Amino acid sequence: MQQWLKGLVGNMSHTLLAHPEPQIHLFLSRVEDELARMAATASGILGELAGHIFAAGGKRLRPRLVILGAGPAPPAPEAVVDVAVAAELIHTASLVHDDVIDNANTRRGRVTVNERWGNRIAVLAGDFLFARAFDLLARHQHYGVVELMTGAIAAMCQGEIEQAGSLFDCNITEDAYLARIRKKTACLFGACCRAGAALSAGAPPLLRHFYAFGVELGLAFQITDDILDLSADPVSLGKPVGNDLAQGVLTLPVIRALQDDYYGPRLRRAIERRRLTPAELDLVREALEVTGALTYAYQVAAGHLAAARRHLEAIPDGPRRQMLLDLAEKILARKR
């Protein structure tokens, strides 16, 4: 038994299980250790690439959801860590590929892989991360979890393809936007929550609530992310403000502002030109503020957060549910 696992099992006292934060933090620490080990043991340029990617850090939300879904005392702790690491690798691989698609040069305040090494290497780096994720998922032969996570990857790809087919489309509806972000973001959130619960042998009805909680949380997260893309400080955001719109990706605040009688036609003309000037970006920001589009988007995000809370009511009361609730509350309050 690995030393960290011996320590975890040895600490499973009634006191710590009543206050499970130490176990949760231990699992998260193991995720960081595994990511660092992966970078340190990869040979040549792969090690350099992995070190660059993982050094950017991140919120580690998806591993956290796996760990919280599993709870503080899962029957197979090593499987929880491996699936949590796989979740972060899947997310990171998708970001590396997204940066190639968007021709992005910064991510989390650091130069992107494609900017530093070129598109060819970036695509292969993303593929490598996916492959390592699959290896971790298959290691414990929990095929229900494998199916969950690969299904989320398929949904992410489908959402990305749908997005590529609707760039600069000012006729996109709110429903189409929500369907897209459900695939691109929320499905992986749901899969992470359900995978963790499945590793703790949760009953099927409970697993469905974990999945639904994760999906609603993911929708609220992505809507908030899209708001920040249009309104946050670029330094705290770690990438240029308005980057999505510059790439032709219309998000909920813009979709809402396009419905305004005064600003709608002006925004449409600017967006359909496919090359927004600084003055036009200022017009977008003005429209979002004057029309209340940002406030509306926050309200929609809050609605999905409320739906997430309702699904938590089906989960037995205890520290795990409270920590999931605490995590959900931080979604709307975040600044980056």
Q: What is the pLDDT of residue 263?
A: 98
Q: What is the pLDDT of residue 20?
A: 54
Q: What is the pLDDT of residue 2?
A: 52
Residue with tokens 């926050």: 298
Q: What is the pLDDT of residue 234?
A: 58
For 239-259, write each residue's pLDDT tens digit.
567 889 999 999 999 999 999
For residue 281, which phi and psi values (nearest 5 degrees)? -65, -35
Residue ranges for the chain with pLDDT beneath 70:
1-20, 233-240, 335-336
Residue 145 near residue 69 (C-beta atoms within 8 A) = no
Evaluate the CA torsion angle 211, 213, 218, 219 in order and state its sign.
Answer: positive
DSSP secondary structure letters along 138-152? HTTT-HHHHHHHHHH
Q: What is the pLDDT of residue 240?
A: 63
For 168-216, write each residue's pLDDT tens digit.
999 999 999 999 999 999 999 999 999 999 999 888 999 999 999 999 9
Predicted TM-score (pTM) of this structure: 0.90
Q: What is the pLDDT of residue 8?
A: 44
Q: What is the pLDDT of residue 335?
A: 63
Fold category of 20-333 in CATH = Farnesyl Diphosphate Synthase (1.10.600)
Q: Is 111 helix (H, G, I), strand (E, B) or coil?
A: strand
Question: What residue spans define the domains of the chain?
Answer: 20-333
Q: What is the pLDDT of residue 237?
A: 54
Evaluate the CA torsion angle 258, 263, 269, 274 in order and state its sign.
Answer: negative
